[in-house]
Amino acid sequence: MKFGDTIVDGVFLERPNRYLARVEIDGEETLAHVPDPGRLPGLMIPQRKVRLIHKPSETRKTQYTLALVRHGRIWVSVYPVFANTLVKDGLTRNKIGCFGEFDSFASEVKHGGSRFDFCLEQGGKETYVEVKSVSLVEETVGKFPDAPTERGRKHVEELIQLKQKGFGAVVLFVSQRSDTRSITSNDPIDPKFGEALRRAQKAGVKLFGINCKVTASSISLDQNIPLEI
């Protein structure tokens, strides 16, 4: 996926709150929306190079959205929606091997009182998929979440229930950076999520991981990587 000409260079200055960053673009300071409300440890460091998507709007509080942060020699995406976009594109082109064969798929699917990122259909059987975006990596290990996530735990609990009812269920972790070799639950930050994920695995929910190639101008899914929970 190419970012196009709406992405611009900047410098990160500070993060006043979870959803705002103060940045410098072409020598002028401005505010940018931070689409990932997580803590983003090791990334939100003053004077880091960043790339931002320019989204002019009369109704938006900010005209820019933070998309990439330079971390050493690599770019890291801090735009969680990219993960779903990449997965949808991969499913459309049948390029995500961990899912195996399927006849069709739909996105943002409601089941009961819940909404799931994707639903794959194969021979009359439905498989529900939740995508989780990973941005925290320590010594090549991606860790999710980087902040407590009640919503994330609820998604896993709902997938356990679906599996118990005979549906297929998958959690797909997408690390939006290239230096990830495996993914694990970040128990020190959110032990409840880790416990739910282990129960899900025992219940038959499938857990997959994949990393990304990220450049200053594009992002794409790259390699399947193992889960170590």
The rounded radius of gyration (Å) of the Cα atoms in the chain is: 18
Q: What is the average per-residue pLDDT within 36-62?
A: 92
pLDDT exceeds cutoff 90 at 152: yes
Measure the CA–CA gap between 204 and 127, rounded to whole angstroms.
12
Burial string for 185-202 (b: 16+ CB within 10 Å, else e) reads bbeebbeebbebbeebbe
Quick one: CATH architecture of 81-225? 3-Layer(aba) Sandwich (3.40)
pLDDT exceeds cutoff 90 at 49: yes
Residue 171: predicted pLDDT = 98
Measure the CA–CA gap between 151 and 153, rounded to whole angstroms.
5
Which long-range contacts (C-beta less than 8 Å, at least 24 apart) are formed by 191-196?
192/148, 192/153, 193/144, 193/145, 193/148, 193/149, 193/152, 193/153, 193/156, 194/229, 196/153, 196/156, 196/157, 196/160
Q: What is the average per-residue pLDDT within 162-171?
A: 97
The CATH class of the 4-77 domain is mainly beta
**Which residues lie closer than 8 Å to 166 by C-beta, 6 or more apart?**
none
Instruction: Using pLDDT thresholds of 50, 70 and 90, give the confidence band for residue 168.
Output: very high
Q: What is the average per-residue pLDDT within 29-57?
A: 95
pLDDT exceeds cutoff 80 at 86: yes
How high is the mean pLDDT of the chain? 96
Q: Which part of the chain is CATH 3.40.1350.60?
A: 81-225
The owner of tokens 């979870």 is 18
Question: Rounded to whole angstroms, what are the CA distances from 10 to 17, 72, 219, 224?
Answer: 19, 16, 18, 31
pLDDT exceeds cutoff 90 at 51: yes
